[in-house]
Amino acid sequence: MSLTYAIVVNGPAYGTQAARSAYQFSCALLELGHTLTRVFFYQDGVLNGNILTAPASDEFDLVAAWQQLAKTHQVELQTCVAAALRRGVIGEQEAQQHQLSNHNLAVGFEQAGLGGLTEVLLSADRVIQF
């Protein structure tokens, strides 16, 4: 039986294992034929959407991996806008709204309110939090 999943990521791209575990779990469930509709990044998890991360050449690039996963499997990547703004992860629209000269939200990620999380909580068969 195929299920629809949503993932909530609270851990940053680097510094803890949470985000990497979420990514590995996401890949595994997709390989098993399940559907992953959305990954919602909350708290420090919003740092997964920062395009300015630059891991060493011999390290795993988790931001790029999330982007590829989203592109390949049509998965929505949403960062909580309030948590992201507090941590300096700024989308283009928010940069304009707050009169900032730059933005750094990675391509493939979008910023959303907690309504985005609520929506997926109501529609997914399973929600897994990391």
Just list the catalytic residues. Answer: 80
Give the span between the Cα atoms of 83 and 44, in whole angstroms.
Answer: 8
Q: What is the dihedral of CA 94, 67, 26, 112, to 10 degrees?
A: 10
- Looking at residue 100, what DSSP letter applies? -
Contact between residue 51 and residue 84 where contact means Cβ atoms under 8 Å apart: no
Indicate the length of the chain as a whole number. Answer: 130
Give the span between the Cα atoms of 74 and 84, in whole angstroms.
Answer: 22
Contact between residue 125 and residue 3 where contact means Cβ atoms under 8 Å apart: yes
Contact between residue 83 and residue 42 where contact means Cβ atoms under 8 Å apart: yes
